Structure 1
Amino acid sequence: MSQGTLFITEQTRGVVPKGLVQYFKLDVKISNKEDEQFKKYFPLNYIPAFVGPKGLKLTEVSAVIEHLLNLAGEKKLKGTTELEQVQVNKWISFFNTEVISTSARIFLPLLGKAPYNKKDIDAATERLDTIIQIIEARLSEFTYLVGERITVADLFAATVIGRSLETIFDKAWISKHQDIFRWFSTVSAHPVLSWRYVDFKPRDKPVEYVPPKKEKKEKKKEEKPKQEKKPAPAAAEQSDEPPVEKKAKHPLEALGKPKLAIDEWKRFYSNEETRESAIPWFWEHFDADEWSLWKVTYKYNDELTLTFMSNNLIGGFFARLTGSIKYMFGCAVVYGENNNNGIIGGFMVRGQDYKPAFEVAPDWESYSYEKLDPNSEEDREFFNNMLAWDKPIVVNGEEKEIADGKVLK
């Protein structure tokens, strides 16, 4: 009897699951998003995914990897002690949520797969430098991320670093981070990954952004009177700088100026007592025809570990939303405690659709979006609590204390 079907693409998160199926010769079919079974069972379109016997349906890379290891009867790659297993989960979560999203903010725009914004790329580069320092601090003293032998944390993390080595980490970067490259070279040679990195060579230089070519205007057929040629400008007046391209307008700009000036609300919220003054002011001025309210929930709360790391995740998400800062306001909080926490938030967005505001962030699909009804007492109370942070969050009927949070303003 087949052990199930694994759905993957060529993206980073699919490399280890595919490698495990191949290495352990599991009776698992490998398919993709075009499979009708995938479309039926996974409406969120998230990869990797797994369908097994008895109605088993899995998403989230850590869950899929663990299930494949269980099918293979492999225990050593998961960590040999309970403490090691916790650390394996920690590193997988760290690379999945923090490293992938931050590095993608750099290489996706450079590859032309996301809007190019130099300010956003510089901010992501600075954050990635801090992340690399954390990884390097571990690998400068130890051979692997957990213990003294390869675990699945190393395998997954190596594919994430490998993607950056194929795009933004060049030979100059490697010369400064030899401990990480030594680790990558060792781990990528493991049979679970070696098929992916057979002919791997470091880049000489990072990928460079190439601005899209401007379309040439068609010449008019009507003949125009010849004009005398103007003398070419003097050499000193000529410039080698490329012409500055006009920045594309944000789609929400077409909605025009609203009655509620969002900057006025942001100033009021920042300077006044939240419950006593800010919340009453908000509902007095809120116009449901011009603005919409949304509950935004992180999809992968089961992969979060330390609360400060979850709060950093919010900060990174907010940094990637700066392109829409004129059209939205929001608060997101971390609830719960270390190794048992989640992220949820309340946002006000220009217009009635969340997508134009949020899709400027490469990781916007890592969150789910539920429209709130400003006339619903329950929805109003949720939004008020997101503004005030002074009451526990109710999750699945259970109260969770707010540990931290951030405001997008």
Structure 2
Amino acid sequence: MVAETLNTCSENWRAFKALIAAQYSRAWVCVLSTPHHFHFGQTNRTPESLRKFPASKFPAFEGDNGFCGFESNAIVYYVSNGELRGGTPEAAAQVAQWVSFADSDIMPQASTWVFPTLATMHHNRPLRMQRKNTFPVGEQATLADITVVCTLLWLYKQVLEASFCQAFPSTNCWFLTFQAVLGEVKLCEKMSQFDAKEFAESQPKKEKEGLTGREQKEEKKAAAPAPEEEMNEREQALAAEPKAKEPFAHLPKTTTPGLWEHFGKDGWSLWYSESRFPEELTQTFVSCNLITGLFQQKNASASVILSGTNNGSPISGVWVFRGQELAFPLSPGWQVDYESYTWRKLDPGSEETQTLVREYFSWEGAFQQVGKAFNQGKIFK
């Protein structure tokens, strides 16, 4: 029997989908991933490879009957049996639903979280996911499980640290059942961080070797500084004037004096907010994203800050509302995350309020209300 072959680089999570499906279907698939068999940019661009796979994409599959195909979802479908594809039209539709969900919802967000830790792109934001059933479709593993598990693989390796995963025991157990093909997955102990230096070093550098003499002369000419233009008398006089080291040094560091001068306490009110469940705020960048959930209505201004570090980053803020009551209850659309915070009306004339306003509007001070140092903040106006 001639084995069907899968051409791919090593540790390719997309290829794992086909290998897991092949095990469930008892299909024999030979993986060609060593540098001798597969070297990205070389072996996948040879005339023979391009004849079979014109798009030169990988993983690439070649069947023992001569069938050739690429794109991991197409390959995994080909090597799967009927049970994995879904035993009924309804189950097959649900399988396709989860395969699409993994590609459109999980993978883009996972990439922005994982790839910065691998120095392949800048950092963005993570995703959230919770499982309620043992399997996405039916009572046994299908392509839906295989596709989602492989999409989550690098999340578990790079960023889903133990403290984060504790809240999802069922998902963790379900994921680890697929280790027979994945091998023993070394789960992330501490979330990897974006390394700007490593990212810069990983970027391709401009090659200057092999330039002709004429090209080298043109490059030197382009790099040479342009001759300085002569200044007229007016420009010389402006250049001779002493320059301030800090052009904004004469401006006040905070606008609170102006606020108290023009604040109308009859038409406006000040409020202090603080997160009810700070122990649940484990990652600072996730907590900072939650602040935006409050900024949904237009009858207020606020300075909301994040204090402390990971596993201890409470959210608090000072708000200026029009009127004497909170505006959130006036509209269901304004109540996003509203009940996740405590709200306390402030006395504009008290020393405590003036200290809070000064600290929260300038992002400087002791922040004794919180008891932790300032980390980052957001302004809503």
User: Normalized against structure 2, the TM-score is what?
Assistant: 0.44
User: Normalized against structure 1, the TM-score is what?
Assistant: 0.42
For the pair shown, the structure with the greater C-alpha radius of gyration is: 2
